[in-house]
Structure 1
Amino acid sequence: MVQSMTGYGRDEQQVHDTRVSVEVRSVNHRFLDISNKMPKSFLVVEDKVKKIVQSYFQRGRIDLFISIEGMGFIERNLQVDWNLLNQYIEKSKELKDKYGLQGDISVDRLTSLEGAFEIVEKEQSQDVLFDVVLRSVSNACEQVKNMREIEGQELIEDMKTRVLFIQETVKKLTERRHVVIEEHRSRIQKRLQEFITEDIADDSRIVQEVALLAEKGDITEELTRLSSHCVQFFDTLEQESAIGRKLDFILQEMHREINTIGSKSTDVQISHWIVLLKSEVEKIKEQVQNIE
């Protein structure tokens, strides 16, 4: 299905005390350009992330943001320095015996000893978290793809309407092409009358040359090619692969034919149609810039 190159997607996953957030934005670009912003600890899956994005899109600037919040994959353990505690208790008893001191050692006092208790954090295996990240990236890309497809269909309908208008105008030009030929023949005859004498004005050879030159003013070939380009445009819209660059090429050829037709005619009506055709082609080109 035809896609535009503009879209947005966001996905969140919760694993234990950790929340994974993935945001994907897509805008116009000639090729597929992927930009990743993620925590350094997740750079090991960067290639896998890019492959997921590539499986969804063929063109466009893709900005991908991955954020991790929480400590769900950190294991915390309390370590006790029993040797230090034993020494403290033994020394406390020695102080009591030596100086005749009274009182017991409280638990609060023991737990406040510097170095006796320590919280050690150990990072658990992140394979599960990596899988969650990749799944979240895929979900966000799916949202972007859906948005791009919806907009792509809207663009297609607009372009189809404009190409149909071009086809109708080509029919009108075809019906009026004889005017271009007559105009061209008249210009040639007028120029000849300025340079030839009456004695050779009816020379058959000159008449043949005039006829040949007049044929060069015919716009039939240009109209045929323009009509063919319209058919190619419609056929390309039905393709499943990326079609943006191909459509752009077809439009360039359409513009070339329209310019040639315009240069061959001085007819006011034809000139009016040429202006309309150029305007429609330019509008289609603007739409094609956002087609994948």
Structure 2
Amino acid sequence: MIKSMTGFGRGSTDEEGGRFTVEIKTVNHRYFDLNIKMPKAFIALEDRMRKLIKQKVNRGKIDVFITQNNYEKQGVNAVLNEALADSYVQCLNKIKERYNIEEKLSVSLIAKFPEIIALKQEEEDLEILWEKLKDLLEEAVNTLVSMREKEGIKLQQNIFIKCDYIKSLLDKIEKRSPQVVIEYKQKLNNRLSELMQDYTVDENRLAMEIALFADKACLDEEIVRLNSHLIQVKDTLNLDEPVGRKLDFIVQEMNREANTIASKSNDLDIANYVLNIKNEIEKIREQIQNIE
């Protein structure tokens, strides 16, 4: 089943005193580009997160947002920096002695100095933290993958319709192609009759000219190849693996064959058919840019 590269997933839980949330969103990208924004406490778990996401997401620009809101600030303590406080007191006493200041030192004065009292949050056990995070991350990724699969089905159906339309246009070109040679022969005969009324036309020379035109205007090879590419697109879309890059290559080849048909044809009807084919190929190419 093909997957789109666009999706969103979310997992959250309410614990005693706080909320834990994981959000993940993806958009199309040529490679696997993962960016995780999280609290410092989770940095040691980043490698595990990447491996878990990589198991289910193969390509795209992936942004992960992890938040932890502690309503009661559990595990937060005030810590006294004793060495720094001692240093401040010594400096203040020296100032008093040097300038004969009678004022007494107060606790409130010392506590106002930077970093004398700091808030320190107790570190959580990494394994316990990972157990909380893993379940939520899996929930978010599974939701994301489900959304990508649903959009992938729509993309697949749309591309199938476009391939069928291109096939119908190719059938018209194949049917029209022999008629172009016949019409060229008639036009050439009529033109020569007008220009050479008193002269006999060399039938061998005329036959050679028509044969050269027929060979140059023959579209059989290009039509067969383009039909083959249409089958390859459908077969590839039915594979149960990432197919975006492969499809991108096939579509390039389809466009090349369409250009060759356009350059070899001298017929207005075929030129219009090719114009519509190229338009549909471009639409397919745009759709494929969002397939994993």
TM-score interval (norm. to shorter): 0.7 to 0.9
Contact 1:16 1:72 in 2 (8 A): no
Query: What RMSD in Å do the two structures reach over aligned CA positions?
Result: 3.3
- Aligned residue pairs total 253
Aligned to 1:216, the other structure's residue is in SS state helix
Instruction: State yes or no: 1:284 paired with 2:266.
Output: no
Shift of residue 131, structure 1, vs aligned partner: 1.4
On the 8 A contact 2:174/2:223 being kept in 1, the answer is: yes
How far does residue 203 in structure 1 lie from its aligned partner after superposition?
7.8
**Matched letter for residue 74 of structure 1:** G
- CA deviation profile, 1:138-161 (whole Å, cap 9, x unmatched): 110111111111111111111111
Q: 1:270 to 1:38 in 2, by over 3 A?
A: same
TM-score by length of 1: 0.75
Tell me how far apart the structure 1 counterparts of residues 120 and 262 of structure 2 sit (CA, whole Å). Answer: 81
- 1:56 partner SS: coil
The whole-number CA distance in structure 2 between the counterparts of 1:244 and 1:190 is: 53
In structure 2, the residue matched to 1:214 is: 214
Q: Which residue of 2 aligns with 1:47?
A: 47
Structure-2 change in CA distance of 1:52 and 1:184 (3 Å): farther
Asked if 1:4 corresponds to 2:4, the answer is yes
Once the two structures are superposed, residues 100-149 of structure 1 have per-residue CA deviations (whole angstroms, 9 ceiling, x without a partner) of: xxxxxxxxxxxxxxxxxxx9974452421221112211110111111111
Distance 2:192 2:48 in 1: 74
> Which is further off, 171-180 or 60-69?
171-180
Letter in structure 2 aligned against 1:27: V
Letter in 2 for 1:169: L
- Aligned letter for 1:162? K
Q: Distance in 2 between matches of 1:265 and 1:232?
A: 25
- Secondary structure class of the residue paired with 2:21: strand
Q: Secondary structure at the match of 1:67?
A: strand
| Residue 66 (structure 1) shift | 0.7
C-alpha distance after superposition, 1:51-83 (max 9, x if no partner): 111111111100001111216762879xxxxxx
- Distance in 2 between residues matched to 1:186 and 1:254, nearest whole Å: 33
Q: Which runs of 5+ in 2 are unaligned?
A: 79-118
Structure 2 match to 1:268: 268
- More off after superposition, 205-214 vs 61-70: 205-214
Identity %: 38
Deviations 1:165-197 (A, max 9, x none): 11111111111111343466689999999xxxx
- Larger Rg computed on CA atoms: 1
Q: Distance in 1 between matches of 2:156 and 2:24?
A: 24
Q: Spell out structure 1 runs of 4+ moving beyond 4 A.
A: 119-122, 182-193, 198-201, 203-210
Deviation for aligned residue 1:11: 0.7
- TM-score, scaled to structure 2: 0.75
Instruction: Report the equivalent of 2:17.
Output: 17
Query: Could you list the runs of 5+ residues in structure 1 that have no partner in the other structure?
Result: 78-118
- 1:179 aligned partner: 179
For the Cα contact (< 8 Å) 1:21–1:68, is it kept in 2? yes
